Amino acid sequence: MLEFRDALREAMSEEMRRDQRVYLLGEEVAQYNGAYKVSRGMLDEFGARRIIDTPISESGFAGMAIGSAMLGLRPIVEFMSWSFSLVAADPILNNAAKMLYMSGGQFGCPIVFRGNDGAGGQLGSTHSWCVEGLFSNVPGLKMAIPSDPHDAKGLLKTAIRDDDPVFFLESERMLGMKGPVPEAEYLIPFGQAVLRRRGTDCTIATWGRPVHFAMEAAEGLAREGISCEVIDLRTIRPMDIETVVRSVKATGTCVVVDQSWSFGSPGSELAAQIHARCFDDLDNHVVRVHTADVPTPYAASLEAEYLPNARRICEAVRAATYNA
């Protein structure tokens, strides 16, 4: 059993031992062992040339890492929070995601941007950004959002080996979560969802931290006689729509759970694709559960209500399956 943060560290360390081109940089990743202790001990093993503390200048160190990726290195950039990535939006979206296209294939950008995404527990509105709705809109990048330690390690190893830029979104609230992680090496392919729970009455499709809200809701609904199938997409760029479609064709109803705001979100894209692919199989329209359409509140009680929690998911499933 490993904590989520330890699974991330194992993935990075194993890939750095395997490939001398891989290095880690970001604020406090070296001397302080990482703001959330994800990189604990890595400076001792790999030294200051490969575990690099940076100034508080996300645009500067993101741009530097992109330049090094163009010249053959494979950097891992840690954003202490994805909220801070907003000041680096130009290099990570205009350069990293477009470099292969803009250079006519001359320069790739094998780089991983990783860090904490979404409401982290009373961090306030400006430190609680859920950025997948913003960044997944841009072609040329991949986006992985793990929900447990097993997937955190397997997806991160895949991300580090990928030749395209990968946005790897973690949750501060899950860093201490423990789960089984195999000792043998494994990688999880992008675009391959996993079935977390079988069911017959409703498909719940989600990813990241909301997977746990969905599982909690499914357990409660089972006591009411409603059987929910829970699918964890794992990545939303690429998105495994085929697995979701197969499930929806069998259950006839679907709830999409996404911790992004609803307008222009990955959840709205998924719902649109389900409607297009499963129109004749649906007994009701796809119901979506998102964070409330307001800035993230600071108060713990309000933050919990703002998120797509189990109670709200249960209400959505009841609405989707009513008279279905």
Residues with catalytic annotation? 58, 127
Cα 139 to Cα 97, 156, 231: the distances in Å are: 7, 20, 24
**52 Cα distance to chain centroid:** 24
3-state secondary structure of 5: helix
Q: Which letter does DSSP use for residue 284 in this model?
A: S
Burial zone of 81 (CB within 10 Å; 0-12 exposed, 13-18 middle, 19+ buried): buried
- Determine the number of helices (DSSP H) and then strands (DSSP E) in the chain: 12, 14
312 Cβ partners below 8 Å, 6+ apart? 289
- Give the whole-angstrom CA distance, residue 43 versus residue 50: 8
Q: What's phi and psi for 232, nearest 5 deg?
A: -100, 115
The full DSSP string for 111-127 is: -EEEEE-S--SS--GGG
